[in-house]
Copies of this chain bind each other. A is one copy, B any other.
Amino acid sequence: MCAMTRPLRRDAARNRDHLLRAAAAVFTEQGLAGSLEEVARRAGVSIGTLYNHFPTRDTLIDALLPPRLAAVDGFAAEAAAEPDPWLAFTGFATNLLSQLTKDRALLEAFTGDHPAAAALADACRHGMSHLSTVLTRARQAGAIRPDATDQDVVNLLWALSLLGETTGEGAWRQPLHFALDGFVNRR
């Protein structure tokens, strides 16, 4: 926990850094099940070295994902600052999707395709609670139809994320726009 461990030797620190960068690239492209040998190759390092630094795939994932979660926290803050609860919700949804479709690893982390590591499970719950907050506000303001559950919204966003992952840029934007219209409360 605390930084009581001796600092890494310079070459080791460099290698670890290269590995993390390479893993980010490979996981973003191939998902969390991407090839570790490919990671080592791209890092310019032997496969043995990869296993020295990260004994299991999950330790690598855990070292990699936390930074990316900052983005989601940022979206939540942005949503909290938006006075209109409906706009807060749609803005959050759009931001989240744009993030998830850019990064296959993040999507798999959120959707739990991988029996991954501790930090990951936390992250997932964290993101969900942000979404839940935004939704609750919209619901209390009467902006969202009352028969729509949190899970329905999650499923819609999840679906469009999967689409974005396979089609690449932007195919999800119009559908999201129309679909969200279907969640408006028309008393």
Contacts and interface: CB of A to CB of B under 8 A. Distances in A.
A158 B175 CA distance: 11
Given A152-B174, A156-B175, A180-B182, 18 more contacts: A111-B166, A113-B166, A145-B178, A149-B174, A152-B178, A155-B163, A156-B178, A156-B179, A158-B163, A159-B162, A162-B162, A162-B166, A178-B179, A178-B182, A178-B183, A179-B179, A179-B182, A181-B181
Interface in A140-187: 145, 148-149, 152-153, 155-156, 158-160, 162-163, 166-167, 171-172, 174-175, 178-183
A49 to B, nearest CB: 31
Nearest to A170: B155
Oligomer copy total: 2
B155 A172 contact: yes
Contacts of A148: 174, 178
A172 B2 CA distance: 45
Contacts of A180: 182
Contacts of A156: 175, 178-179
Give the residue among A160, A171, A175 with the most B Cβ atoms within 10 A: A175
A25 B148 CA distance: 35
